[in-house]
Amino acid sequence: MKNEVISKRYADAFLEFAKASLGFEKALEELQDMRRVFHDNPEIMSFVESPQITDSEKRAFVDDAFKENFSEEIRQFLKLLLHKGRIEIFPDIAEYARVAYSHGIEVEALLKTSYPLDTEEIVRIKAVLEDEFKKKLHLYIELDSDLLGGIYVKIENTIIDGSVRRRLSDLREKLTAMKVS
């Protein structure tokens, strides 16, 4: 259980760090490619885990062996794991990332509308939302006549309610709060 928590923290931290320069998908892909290298070449894991080899030799090996095919970010990550004495959990970190993020950064979103939208409108709304939230969306569309008009969007924990029903409700609250003289 402890290694699962540690693996999750390292995987999330690496992906957050690397997504700025590599992009999320590329960072995830590099984790999986490096995992395959370690899996297909057990002598590499034996080398980096060996107590007879100094940390500086291991860091130099990481730079030399992986410079051609891997980014600076993944090499820095491996060197961090070496420094922290956690290189042996790298396969667990990569496996956690694969399972947890195999869907990429696509997020489910619900779009409610009181009337059917044509394809162009849906594409435009989706593009605006993806640009605003900086996430790829898997959009579910639901017709809801109770909205009276406008749209309602729920993305993760965020709700955007541009419905006529909400506007009328807000107006009712303002009118009841006003003092009549």
pLDDT digits (tens, 9 = 90+) for 57-74: 999 999 999 999 999 999
Under the banding of pLDDT at 50, 70 and 90, the label for residue 105 is low
- Tell me what the mean pLDDT of segment 42-49 comes to: 92
Both 90 and 122 in one domain: the answer is no
CATH number of 68's domain: 1.10.520.20
Under the banding of pLDDT at 50, 70 and 90, the label for residue 108 is confident
Both 152 and 115 in one domain: the answer is yes
Domain boundary among 65, 85, 101: 101
Three-state helix/strand/coil letters over the chain = CHHHHHHHHHHHHHHHHHHCCCCHHHHHHHHHHHHHHHHHCHHHHHHHHCCCCCHHHHHHHHHHHHCCCCCHHHHHHHHHHHHHCCHHHHHHHHHHHHHHHCCCCCEEEEEEECCCCCHHHHHHHHHHHHHHHCCCEEEEEEECHHHCCCEEEEECCEEEECCHHHHHHHHHHHHHHCCCC
What is the predicted pLDDT for the residue at 19?
A: 86
- What pTM value is reported for the model? 0.57
- Residues with Cβ within 8 Å of 15's Cβ and at least 6 positions away in sequence, in order, are 24, 27, 28, 31, 97, 101
Both 11 and 95 in one domain: the answer is yes
Both 88 and 131 in one domain: the answer is no
- Residue 26, number of CB atoms within 10 A of its CB: 15
53 vs 162, which has greater pLDDT?
53
Under the banding of pLDDT at 50, 70 and 90, the label for residue 169 is confident
What is the predicted pLDDT for the residue at 56?
A: 92
Using the predicted structure, report yes or no on whether residue 181 has a pLDDT greater than 80: no
Where in the sequence is the domain holding 59, given as residue range(s)?
2-101
**Total domains, the chain:** 2
Both 21 and 73 in one domain: the answer is yes
pLDDT digits (tens, 9 = 90+) for 1-34: 467 889 989 998 999 899 889 988 899 899 999 9
Both 30 and 73 in one domain: the answer is yes
Domain boundary among 49, 72, 101: 101
Distances (CA, A) of 181 to 81, 153, 170, 177, 178: 71, 39, 22, 13, 10
Both 75 and 93 in one domain: the answer is yes
CATH number of 164's domain: 3.40.30
Domain boundary among 62, 85, 101: 101
Both 87 and 27 in one domain: the answer is yes
